[in-house]
Amino acid sequence: MTQYDLIIVGGGPIGLACAIEAQKKNLKYLIIEKGAIVNSIFNYPLYMTFFSTAERLEIGDIPFNCLAPKPGRQEALEYYRNIHRYFNFAIHLFERVAEVKKQQDGLFKIKTDKNSYEAKNVIIATGFYDIPIEMNVKGEELGKVRHYYKEAHEYAFRNVLVVGANNSSVDAALECWRKGANVTMVIRKNEINNRVKYWAKPDIENRIAEGSIKAYFESNITEIKDNEVEIETPEGKITIENDFVLALTGYRPDLSFLENMGIQLSDDELKTPTYHPETMETNVPGLFLAGVICGGMHTHKWFIENSRIHATMIIDYITA
């Protein structure tokens, strides 16, 4: 069994940043990624625009050149592919980690769907994009319900219900409407989320105000049917015709994966993992967290731009 100084679980931007720092310190490392390189970004909507500017997405001191003020998904994929070309990472793609367990000799045994490895240290940089937060309503299992949104063409000229008022919901509602869909939004609160991108927020608010997009605030879906959706509104229950439901209600990290490694989570609803803020080491010695996963259910706390530093913090501590 091959033994490594470090195994990094997750090949997103933060996992790659950790690998860059490991290379600088001549550590024998391996990245294990369950999908494509920067798999979460690959699964973003085709025409998604980042809130961050290009320089805030940079890693490894490699410039991110972008013509637009804000890069989109395609530019980001190109940038991170070029990062791999430059650093030639030791990385296994399309390999899923099933278990990380610390042994009595102090080494970690990492089991995947293809192999087993041993490592002195492990970094978990898995993000949060894999498990949708479900609405738990009758009919959610129907094929017309989507928890991920790719592009608008499929929904053109159809009755589309978008759930939520965050960035992904607003982007999907606007794109589908512009491609000819009849768009209705169901929003639990009484306004569009303040975290929505500053150029999209007035756009969606104006479309709602003029009646181009119908929005039910302080409302919830109660049942999804083959051709209809029932909605509980402040004025009572209504039923509308429907072809597709885009339930873009957010995503959560795989917390059971962390718990199975022995990482302690907070008792509150945020389920924040235990880690040292200066070293990113968890309550399991030699097991570290990096990136969005550090926030537990508070998935808006960490981004690429403010968690890139985790890579340096962890590798400096390992090699101190």
In this predicted structure, what is the pLDDT of residue 51?
A: 86
**Structure tokens of 76?**
């980001």
Start-to-end CA distance of the chain, whole Å, equals 26
Phi-psi map region of 225: left, alpha, beta (phi>0 left; psi -120 to 50 alpha):
beta
In this predicted structure, what is the pLDDT of residue 35?
A: 96
pLDDT digits (tens, 9 = 90+) for 113-139: 999 999 999 999 998 888 899 999 999
- For 45, the 3-state DSSP assignment is coil
CA–chain centroid gap for 136, Å, is 21
CATH for the stretch 3-131+251-318: 3.50.50.60
Q: Report the run of H or E that residue 313 belongs to, with start and end.
A: helix 309-318
Domain ranges, ordered by start, for the chain? 3-131+251-318, 134-247
In this predicted structure, what is the pLDDT of residue 128?
A: 85
In this predicted structure, what is the pLDDT of residue 2?
A: 86
**pTM of structure:** 0.91
- Section 304-316 average pLDDT: 95
In this predicted structure, what is the pLDDT of residue 92?
A: 98
In this predicted structure, what is the pLDDT of residue 130?
A: 83
Confidence of residue 69 (pLDDT cuts 50, 70, 90): confident
**Structure tokens of 22?**
């490991």
The reply to whether CATH 3.50.50.60 applies to domain 134-247 is yes
DSSP string, 193-228: -TTS-TTTHHHHHHHHHTTSSEEEES-EEEEE-SSE
- Section 54-70 average pLDDT: 92
Confidence of residue 1 (pLDDT cuts 50, 70, 90): confident
Which stretches of 88-230 are DSSP H helices? Answer: 167-178, 201-209
Which stretches of 12-68 are DSSP H helices? Answer: 13-24, 39-42
10: burial class by Cβ within 10 Å (0-12, 13-18, 19+)? buried
| C-beta separation of 213 from 246 below 8 A | no
In this predicted structure, what is the pLDDT of residue 68?
A: 85
